[in-house]
């Protein structure tokens, strides 16, 4: 038995080493990281070269934006407004997930609910949310509550529609197996529907992150003087373009970071839902 165990241990160790050796022989210029980060470096270098040729009132370049980023961070202005925006985005996305996912499963599982809500949801999804922001400000005020509602409305529909589609496409044989084991409706949700719909839910949340960021900035344009949206508006109005770019680029990195974090959570919670690229 000890010889068999040693042979198994050796076999387990051989496979990763073979894969690692194979990856080491791949030239760097054929790896994904070369294209992913190399193209970004190329864009930044080109931007740095051509940026100073444009009127600084209208445009800026990376080195000047980096200096502005340091100044705004050192003064505490950027962290202060960024924290305010993050709170609004977090609450808006959290409420969108808590409402969108269960409501989508209800619509997919019960036809009367689907028939009742299908037309209003499609009508609201097709409505430009920007047009509703002045009304929401009028109804809910100009403070954080109104901003959270705006982010919620921007983010909830991608989550709801994608989750609905995922539940509707669930394998019927899996549902029949759950019924044959006398699973309750809640157990069917927990053990069959939601695990199957995880890729759809994750895709909906990824879309919701981008829409939520847009809604957050728009809400900050219309409501109280706070957040990254206020910084964009303020520095654009006084033609400090380098400082205007700082919150814009921070929003870009925030979207990338949240999307990467979501992918990590998806791999941890449901590793069967996606294959590593």
In this predicted model, what pLDDT tens digit does every residue of 107-127 receive, in sequence order?
Answer: 887 888 888 888 888 888 888
Tell which wins on pLDDT, 88 or 37.
88
8 A C-beta contact, residue 157 and residue 124? yes
Q: Measuring CA to CA, which residue among 11, 41, 23 is closest to residue 276?
A: 23
Note the pLDDT of residue 273: 61
Residues 218 and 128: their CA atoms lie apart, in Å, by 12
8 A C-beta contact, residue 134 and residue 140? no
What does the domain layout of the chain look like in residue ranges? Answer: 2-53, 62-273
Mean pLDDT, the chain, rounded, equals: 79
161-189 mean pLDDT: 77
Fold of the domain spanning 62-273: MetI-like fold (1.10.3720)
In this predicted model, what pLDDT tens digit does every residue of 54-86 receive, in sequence order?
Answer: 777 777 778 888 888 898 889 888 888 888 889
Residues 241 and 57: their CA atoms lie apart, in Å, by 6
Residue listed under structure tokens 């080493």: 17
Q: What are phi and psi of 264, to 5 degrees?
A: -65, -45
Residue 106 above 80 pLDDT?
Answer: yes
In this predicted model, what pLDDT tens digit does every residue of 130-152 receive, in sequence order?
Answer: 888 888 888 887 778 888 888 99
171-196 mean pLDDT: 74
């Amino acid at each position: 038995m000890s010889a068999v165990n040693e042979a198994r241990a050796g076999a387990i160790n051989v496979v990763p080493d073979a894969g690692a050796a194979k990856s080491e022989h791949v030239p760097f210029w054929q790896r994904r990281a070369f294209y992913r980060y190399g193209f970004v470096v190329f864009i930044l270098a080109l931007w740095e070269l051509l940026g100073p040729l444009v009127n600084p009132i209208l445009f800026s370049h990376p080195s000047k934006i980096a200096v502005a980023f340091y100044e705004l961070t050192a003064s505490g202005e950027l962290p202060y407004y960024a924290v305010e925006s993050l709170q609004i985005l977090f609450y808006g996305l959290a409420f969108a997930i808590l409402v969108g996912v269960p409501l989508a499963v209800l619509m997919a599982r019960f036809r009367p609910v689907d028939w009742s809500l299908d037309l209003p949801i499609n009508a609201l999804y097709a409505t430009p949310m920007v047009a509703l922001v002045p009304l929401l400000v009028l109804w809910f005020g100009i403070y954080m509550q109104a901003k959270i509602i705006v982010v919620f409305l921007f983010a909830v529909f991608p989550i709801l529609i994608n989750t609905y589609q995922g539940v509707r496409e669930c394998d019927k044989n899996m549902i029949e197996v759950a019924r044959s084991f006398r699973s309750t409706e809640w157990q069917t949700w927990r053990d069959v529907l939601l695990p199957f719909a995880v890729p759809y839910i994750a895709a909906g949340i990824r879309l919701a992150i981008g829409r939520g960021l847009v809604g957050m900035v728009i809400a900050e344009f219309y409501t109280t003087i706070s957040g990254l949206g206020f910084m964009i508006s303020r520095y654009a109005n006084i033609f400090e373009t380098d400082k205007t770019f700082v919150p814009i680029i921070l929003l870009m990195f925030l979207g990338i970071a949240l999307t990467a974090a979501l992918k990590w959570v998806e791999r941890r919670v449901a590793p069967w839902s996606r294959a590593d690229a």
